[in-house]
Amino acid sequence: MKEVFNTANKVIVTCNKRLSPFLQQEVQGLGFEIKRAFNTGVELNASINECIKLNLHLRTASQVLYELAAFRARDAKELYAALSKIEWENIIPFDGYFSVTSNVHNETITTPLFANVKVKDAIVDRIKEKKGLRPDSGPDLSKAVIHLHWMEERAEIFLDTSGETLAKHGYRKLPGKAPMLEALATSTIMATQWDGLTPFVNPMCGSGTLAIEAALMAQKRLPGLQRMNYSFMHFIGYDEEVFFAERRKLKEVTEKTNIPPIIASDISDQAVEIARMNAKTAGVEHLIQFETCDFAETTVPQGPGVIMFNPEYGERLGVHTKLEITYKRIGDFLKQHCKGYRGYVFTGNPDLAKKIGLRASRRFEFFNGKLDCRLLQYELYEGTKEK
């Protein structure tokens, strides 16, 4: 069924909640027209070969889903019947392997696992009938992945061209304590409108995700260079030359020179070591100046530039005195040592944020996991602020 690789159809690119504005920016930057944007993604028209490009380029996305069919299904029986009509024998190799994921809200279905089994049965039965053999299936997302989106009586079946999520960028072998998801880190940097030409300073760097993403962005080094396996490779009709041609383009746009100072510091030796090893895996260790020190001793080059903190948030209720002191010290440090910079603090604790003692000029809303967070922006003027 070579045509899905060359036929444009509805494509949904998903992302974590509140990352949609940054995903839109990326998708439009690649020359695609967005048909619809929503809280957790965007809709466009593309072929699977174009989905290859999306998978290799996007830093803020989670999955790239290509629609195969949409139909009415009141219950599992109707779902099975509709899915049995699709030419699965031309999509999934009979000696291959596939997995099923789903998002289901239908009153006849008590567990999404039941819906997944119905999808799997329809595919396997159809291929066995046509080819005499059946593919294997299971939970592993490293081969072909089929996604069911079923709301009330409307069902859609997609080829998930990504497989493993795109939101992780493949370099973080050592996560460290409370790491930030890579897609979220990228989005927060995009929110700062950092130009990739001025210094980027990240005190309290933890496992280094922010500094690493900044270095990757400054280098125009795209996530596809970190990864060699996607779900699209496991569907019939995949042409590896399309993938390798797209990957070669990624190498050509990578910037080797003109990288600004990127500084990451942490008081913990272990955190700095983890950050350094993650940066090495990402291929940007040589672009980041790592420092083991109290955040207030971090090197801050001559501005303008961006300085970003992602400190601990503490418990939601009952704030630790120790953290209150830390947040106050962050405010003092920004005020006294970062003139000419734009300062940012990413936090999930509004009470602690008040201790910074500076007036935020902007607030960006994010989620870190399920935690409601804010990226607070501070203008750190040289001398006195012009009235």
Same domain, 327 and 375: yes
Does residue 351 fall inside a structural domain? yes
Question: How far apart are the C-alpha atoms of 33 and 324, rounded to whole Å?
Answer: 46
Whether 264 shows a pLDDT value over 80: the answer reads yes
| Domain identity same for 37 and 78 | yes
In the predicted model, is pLDDT for residue 384 greater than 50?
no
Based on the structure, what is the number of domains in the chain? Answer: 2
- Tokens representing residue 376 in the block: 């607070």
Read off the pLDDT of each residue in 332-358 and give the average, rounded to a whole number. 96
- In a shared domain, residues 89 and 122: yes
Cβ neighbours of residue 270 closer than 8 Å, sequence gap 6 or more: none
76-84 vs 112-131: helix axis angle to the nearest 10? 30
* pTM of structure: 0.94
pLDDT in tens, 150-193: 999 999 999 999 999 999 999 988 777 778 999 999 999 999 99
Query: What confidence tens digit (pLDDT) does each residue in 110-140 have?
Result: 888 999 999 999 999 999 999 999 999 999 9
Pairing of strands 305-309, 341-347: parallel
User: Do both 98 and 191 map to the same domain?
Assistant: no
Say if residue 102 is in the same domain as residue 209. Answer: no
CB 63 within 8 A of CB 102: no
Question: Is residue 170 situated within a structural domain?
Answer: no
In the structure, what pLDDT confidence band is assigned to residue 386 with cuts at 50, 70 and 90?
Answer: very low
Measured CA to CA, the distance from residue 121 to residue 82 in angstroms comes to: 12
Distance of alpha carbon 320 from alpha carbon 309, whole angstroms: 18
HSE (side-chain half, CA atoms, 13 Å) at 325: 3
Same domain, 352 and 272: yes
Closest to 346 measured CA to CA, from 322, 331, 329, 363: 363
List, for residues 19-63, the tens digit of each pLDDT value.
999 999 999 999 999 999 999 999 999 999 999 999 999 999 999
CATH number of the domain residue 23 falls in: 3.30.2130.30
Q: 210 and 151 share a domain?
A: no
Structural domain includes residue 155:
yes
The answer on 135 and 31 residing in a single domain is: yes
**Would you tell me how many other CB atoms lie within 10 Å of the CB of residue 271?**
21
Any idea of the CA torsion for 268, 272, 275, 276, to the nearest 10 degrees? -160
Residue 83 has pLDDT above 70, yes or no: yes
For residue 355, which phi and psi values (nearest 5 degrees)? -70, -15
| Average pLDDT value over all residues in the chain | 94
Same domain? 98 vs 196 = no
Is residue 169 situated within a structural domain?
A: no
Q: Could you tell me if 204 and 327 are in contact, meaning their C-beta atoms sit under 8 angstroms apart?
A: no
Containing structural domain, residue 112: 3-160
Whether the pLDDT of residue 70 is over 90: the answer is: yes
